[in-house]
Amino acid sequence: MNNPSQQTPPAPPPRVSLVGAGPGAPDLITVRGLKRLREAEIVIYDSLAGEELLAECASGAELIFAGKRSGAHGARQEEINALLVEKARTGRRVVRLKGGDPFIFGRGGEEVLALAAAGIACEIIPGVTAAIAAGAAAQIPLTHRALASGVLFLTGHESLKPGDAAARVHWECAAALPGITLCIYMGVKNLPVIAGRLLAGGMPAETPLAVISNATLPGETMLYASVGEAASGKINEAVETPALVLVGSVVPGGPARHHPRF
Ligand code: SAH
């Protein structure tokens, strides 16, 4: 018989949490993420993980900075993995605080695997990823009943040389998907090449594109252009990073009659 008074209490949360900090504004972390942050004894954080949030940590918490913005190369990531495992082994409550969502271009997958290889369980607390925040900031719905039936999250940071093993994003294929909003992370530097490849894949040059910089942060800006203009190389020089590029009919400039600006 299930007597509630005899039930075992719920298991305590794991001692290691990968927490999505959200896109920048400190109040866009989840309630659960904030709770873990306040309880943490060790916090390993990235620069995109809203440093204001660190004010929420307990006064005795050990705060460890683990990355510059565009830095996380292979060796550096291995060092972070090793640090995470080392700190987790202390048995203290560890939060790995990452910008946006830990599993969207956040290398959270690698950190979970490193912990698992060391026999350490962890939990993942999702965060508002930059594409969602950028859409909200610019009042661009990433899906729309009449204009976009899906969304692609893509990195613009991989090699762009066709045939290169590290060049996995097939931009020409992405161009050929009507009614799909493209959300391009880390795409500012390579934007002219990316836009050129979208055109090569048959995307009309007048397809609207928005670059949202510092979404939810002070200094938030939106820049609107067409894919043709982006291919010319003038757009990316004008924007600050971090920035998210949105491409498709939901972006104002195209048939985006739903947009409050129209
Ligand atoms: N895990 C993060 C993404 C890390 S990759 C997430 O889920 O959001 C870093 C890229 O995210 C940046 O190059 C930029 O393209 C995007 N980004 C992060 N914060 C942003 C912000 N506040 N505004 C616009 N783009 C942002």
Same domain, 74 and 99: yes
Query: Which amino acid is it at 40?
Result: A
Of 111, 128, 145, the residue at which a domain comes to its end is 128
Average pLDDT for 180-196? 96
Percent of the chain with pLDDT over 70: 87
Q: How far is Cα 53 from Cα 44, in angstroms, rounded to an integer?
A: 12
Cα 131 to ligand 1 centre (Å): 7
Q: With bands split at pLDDT 50, 70 and 90, how would you rate the model's confidence at 237? A: confident
Same domain, 117 and 18: yes
Q: pLDDT value at position 161?
A: 72
State which of 105, 128, 217, 240 you would mutate to test the pocket of ligand 1, scoring each by most atoms of that ligand within 8 A of its C-beta.
105
Residues with CB under 6 A from ligand 1: 23-24, 48, 98-101, 104-106, 129-130, 134, 185-186, 212, 214-217, 242-244
Longest dimension (CA), the chain: 72
| Pairwise pLDDT comparison (109 vs 74), residue with the higher score | 109
Chain Cα centroid distance, residue 191: 18
Task: With a cut of 50, say whether residue 261 has pLDDT above it.
Answer: no
Q: How far is Cα 39 from Cα 81, in angstroms, rounded to an integer?
A: 22
Task: With a cut of 70, say whether residue 71 has pLDDT above it.
Answer: no
Q: Quickly list DSSP for the chain.
A: ---GGGSPPPPPPPSEEEEE-BSS-GGGS-HHHHHHHHH-SEEEE-TTS-GGGGGGS-TT-EEEE---TTT--HHHHHHHHHHHHHHHTTTS-EEEEESB-TTSSS-HHHHHHHHHHTT---EEE----HHHHHHHHTT--SSBTTTBSEEEEEES-S--STT-TT----HHHHHT-TTEEEEEET-STTHHHHHHHHHHTT--TT-EEEEEESTTSTT-EEEEEEHHHHHTTSTGGG--SSEEEEESTTSBTBS-TTSTT-
Cα 106 to ligand 1 centre (Å): 9
Average pLDDT for 211-230? 95
Same domain, 160 and 227: yes
Same domain, 116 and 144: no
| Pairwise pLDDT comparison (146 vs 67), residue with the higher score | 146
Structurally, the chain folds into a number of domains equal to 2
For residue 102, whether the previous peptide bond is cis, meaning omega lies within 30 degrees of 0, is no
- Tally the C-alpha atoms within 13 A of residue 89's C-alpha that lie toward its C-beta: 12
CATH of the domain at 241: 3.30.950.10
Same domain, 121 and 137: no
pLDDT one-digit tens code per residue, 13-35: 679 999 999 999 999 999 999 99
Mean pLDDT lowest among 61-70, 182-191, 206-215: 61-70
Q: pLDDT value at position 258?
A: 46
Cα 28 to ligand 1 centre (Å): 14
Q: How far is Cα 154 from Cα 225, in angstroms, rounded to an integer?
A: 19
Task: With a cut of 50, say whether residue 262 has pLDDT above it.
Answer: no
CA-based end-to-end distance of the chain = 63
| Pairwise pLDDT comparison (170 vs 259), residue with the higher score | 170
Neighbouring CB atoms inside 10 A of 16's CB total 25
Report if residue 7 sits inside a domain: no
Of 128, 149, 166, the residue at which a domain comes to its end is 128
- Quote the domain boundaries for residue 173: 131-247
Q: Taking all residues of the chain, what is their mean pLDDT, rounded to a whole number?
A: 89
Average pLDDT for 244-258? 79
Task: Kindly tell me the burial class for residue 76, based on how many C-beta atoms sit within 10 Å of its own C-beta (0-12, 13-18, 19 or more).
Answer: middle
Query: Which amino acid is it at 67?
Result: G
Of 96, 128, 160, the residue at which a domain comes to its end is 128
Report if residue 262 sits inside a domain: no
Q: pLDDT value at position 238?
A: 80
Of 16, 172, 187, 2, the closest CA to residue 97 belongs to: 16
CATH of the domain at 59: 3.40.1010.10
Task: With a cut of 60, say whether residue 3 has pLDDT above it.
Answer: no
Same domain, 150 and 81: no
